[in-house]
Amino acid sequence: MKKASIRMYQAAEGWRDFTQIVADTTGPLIDTISIVGTCGPTATWKYTPHNKTLSILGSGVMTDYNNTNNIPWYVYKDDIDTFVVAQGITSIGQASCYQFQNLKYINIPNSVTSIGNNAFRNCTLLNNVTLSTNLVSLGNSAFRDCVSLESIILPNSLTNLGIIVFSECSSLKTVSLPINLTSIPEYTFYKCTSLENISIPNNVRSIDEYAFYHCDALRNITIPNNTTSIGKSAFAYCKALQSVALN
């Protein structure tokens, strides 16, 4: 892209509304255009088209987005394949990457303690997720319909797991649940048809309705002694289920 074209971007409808359009002239042949703006009191965002990366920079909480029309980078959702968050950011805003169907990689630093509702819902190519080891809260439908996600490790710091978090993640095979979890909420693994085995932590007291509904590949499950409540259809249509052990 020629240097003069930065003026064209700054003048063009749709682009001129952004806080800044920055040309990185370090490259010998082309400029790298970055689009930047704010996404929290002390947080900013930057989208760099040439490497398809959305970066969240700064510190503190991100804005929660209740409507996709309010997400400032939503116009680029079909191009972004990498989501990178800087150390110092403490939350991932609600619906931050909702329906980003080409997103493949996310990296959440250890400063993040919460991920909002629908943050990565329906990211159909997402298959590489690194979560903060200090994550406390994972919102409703955070990874719902992420059909390419095969495995995930939930850190032991996690105590607040929302509903429908991994619903219809049809490629999900392995999940590591945190030891301090006290309930598996409703629809958590609903129609996770590739899930074969899962270890339920000893502190889990309730397995709520439809938690493992239609987990077609689930073969074995051990329910700890502390579990006193199993909700309606929690294990319905688990066609391959061979054994249920009470521990």
Give per-residue pLDDT as tens, 17-42. 555 555 555 554 444 689 999 999 99
Tens digits of per-residue pLDDT, 194-229? 999 888 999 999 999 999 999 999 999 999 999 999
What does pTM read for this prediction?
Answer: 0.87
Average pLDDT over residues 33-57: 96
Cβ pair 161, 180 in contact under 8 A: no
- Rounded distance between C-alpha atoms, residue 5 and residue 148, angstroms: 38
Q: Which helix (H) or strand (E) holds 7?
A: helix 5-11
